[in-house]
Structure 1
Amino acid sequence: MTDDTWVEQGQEISSANGLREYVAEIRAQVSHMQTGLSRAAWGALQGRSWIDTPGGERPNYQDLLREHLDMTCTPPGITAKDAVYRQSLAALLVALDAVDRATLTTWIAEISAQDPNRPA
């Protein structure tokens, strides 16, 4: 059984206000997904959960991506399966970031359409 909540919400929108609220909801959901996925990735890579990691040792999203996941070349000694796993997680996090940026762009475009000279 699939959850068609997003499809059902999207097909009922008939105004700019409705679209603005829909995009804001997408942005909030993406933020939650990005936070959850980055914390889960940290836990899986470190062998201890995010909540069990002392606060000073917890990387933020960007640090996790840069230092542990995204690779332009594989470090010496890393296995192919580990490299693919890390790159896959990096790709998911980057895709969520792209959605977040797209929703922000949509919000700015809507403001610009109303008044192009208004500060964003």
Structure 2
Amino acid sequence: MTDTTISIAEDTWVEAGQEVNSPEQLREYVAQLRAAVSHMQTGLGRAAWGALTGRSWLDTPADETPNVPDILSQHLEMTVTPAGTTAKDATYRQSLAALLVALDAVDRATLTVWLAQTAAQDPDRRA
């Protein structure tokens, strides 16, 4: 990891955010946030896959590995609890789904921030 990359492990988000003093720095900060959220979403999706299937992501053949939306739809999201599912298991699955959806919402929000910043600079620029 480079010195300019914000590391979650180092808990530097607050420190980095309080040093922002220009729109360009804000764009860079939001871009780093978006990248970190994307990594979190991918990591959590793969971890959920392993926990729910009993087979780690690395031990799953490439042609069988789903993306995060597939993991959500096939294993986590429930409008009705499947027969035989315990309340503990249903709650666990719903909480994982909520975390993945929340990370997706943050990813979409950071894209909206980028679009807003771009539009403020040049409203006619192609996105």
What does residue 126 of structure 2 align with? 119
- In the alignment, the residues of structure 2 paired with residue 55 and residue 118 of structure 1 have an alpha-carbon distance, to the nearest angstrom, of 39
- In the alignment, the residues of structure 2 paired with residue 90 and residue 68 of structure 1 have an alpha-carbon distance, to the nearest angstrom, of 9
- Alignment deviations for residues 16-72 of structure 1 (CA, whole Å, 9 cap, x no partner): 000000000000001110110000000000111110011121111110001100111
Structure 1 gaps, min length 5: none
Structure 1 segments, 4+ long, off by >6 Å, are none
What does residue 114 of structure 2 align with? 107
- In the alignment, the residues of structure 2 paired with residue 55 and residue 3 of structure 1 have an alpha-carbon distance, to the nearest angstrom, of 33
Shift of 1:110: 0.3
- In the alignment, the residues of structure 2 paired with residue 56 and residue 111 of structure 1 have an alpha-carbon distance, to the nearest angstrom, of 38
- In the alignment, the residues of structure 1 paired with residue 124 and residue 82 of structure 2 have an alpha-carbon distance, to the nearest angstrom, of 49
Let me know the Cα RMSD of the aligned residues.
1.2
What does residue 43 of structure 2 align with? 36
TM-score, normalised on structure 1? 0.95
Aligned partner letter, 2:67:
N
- Among 41, 60, 63, the residue aligned to 1:56: 63
Structure 2 residue 85 is the aligned partner of structure 1 residue 78: yes
Partner of 1:105, secondary structure, is helix
Structure 2 gaps, min length 5: 1-8
**Aligned length, in residue pairs:** 119
TM-score, normalised on structure 2? 0.90
Shift of 1:3: 4.7
- In the alignment, the residues of structure 2 paired with residue 4 and residue 44 of structure 1 have an alpha-carbon distance, to the nearest angstrom, of 27
Shift of 1:5: 0.3
Aligned partner letter, 2:40:
M
Shift of 1:14: 0.1
